[in-house]
Amino acid sequence: MNYRTLGKSGLEVSTVGLGCNNFGMRIDLDATREVVAKALDVGITLFDTADIYGNMGGSETMLGQVLGDRRKDIILATKFAGPMAAGKTRRDASRRYIITAIEGSLTRLKTDWIDLYQLHMPDPLTPMEETLRALDDLIHQGKVRYIGCSNLPAWQMVEAHWIAREERLTPFISAQDEYSLVVRQIEAEKLPAAQAYGMGILPYFPLASGLLTGKYKRGVEAPADTRFGAIKGLGSRYSTEANWALVEQLEAFCARKGRTLLELAFSWLLGRPMVASVIAGATKPDQLDANVKAADWVLTPEDLAEIDRLPRGDVKPM
């Protein structure tokens, strides 16, 4: 396993991270325990969850039950702002909400601190200064070590850094966004903004929900135990003619190199600017072995140029 610092901060993370969104939703406590144990064995240190994962609290609760003494050995990242009660839709990053949300996460995770506390999504009602001041207070209280953001537009990332600088508040050190060989929209504005302000990039959905694993084929119904099979909206989102054409060309590229599509998906991302760790979920321990192995391929400039010449994918915004 290799390790990188997250942006310009001193926080070191494994280049392959574990996305914990399956815990409490697709797998139970025993399966979660197996996946977490394997992740620790292969050197994964970045564990990324959110309060809303696992049907509102399930993922954090399972992690808290499973980690035990190994909590101190990992970088524990979670998120706030998503609705945590049935019927609620507010994306809330107000001071009032943050102070309540952190206590809930700490309790479920059975820990005294969060290494990376991330604004999960924009809150159109709360001024960014209010959010940053509340997060800064949590850092001074020792409950949070670093802060990051997820799914913010580029202009809001810039605004947040300007406010942090002018008001002498702790800035975001990372941005977590969807990024893969299929979904490259962040390259237009978000990636340049991250470079300008020294923010580490944490790609999620690096395999386009399985499209970049080779498990799905054009015109063939997805198996019921896969993401496409279990969540029909994902299948319709990614299964476009442009994406199938791109995947087939990527598979041909991999065949010439004697590599797999999985290896290309991870290694390509780790060759992109500011990417610190690639976050991928897992429901079985052996998937982690494959993910870690996949990250070892170092693409040449010629490889990257050839991939850039391929037609882009076509994916609807989430």
CA distance 203 to 207: 10
Residues involved in catalysis = 53
Q: By the 8 A CB rule, do 189 and 216 touch?
A: no
Let me know the angle formed at the C-alpha of 97 by 96 and 103, rounded to the nearest 5 degrees.
105
**Pick from 253, 250, 154: which is nearest to 195 by CA?**
154
Residue 230 CA from chain centroid, whole number: 20
User: What are the φ and ψ backbone dihedral angles of 305, each rounded to 5 degrees?
Assistant: -65, -40
CA distance 61 to 107: 8
Residue 297 CA from chain centroid, whole number: 21
**Which pair of tokens denotes residue 98?**
């943050």
**Pick from 221, 198, 222: which is nearest to 210 by CA?**
222
* DSSP-assigned letter for residue 294: H
CA distance 295 to 15: 8
Residue 287: strand, helix, or coil:
helix
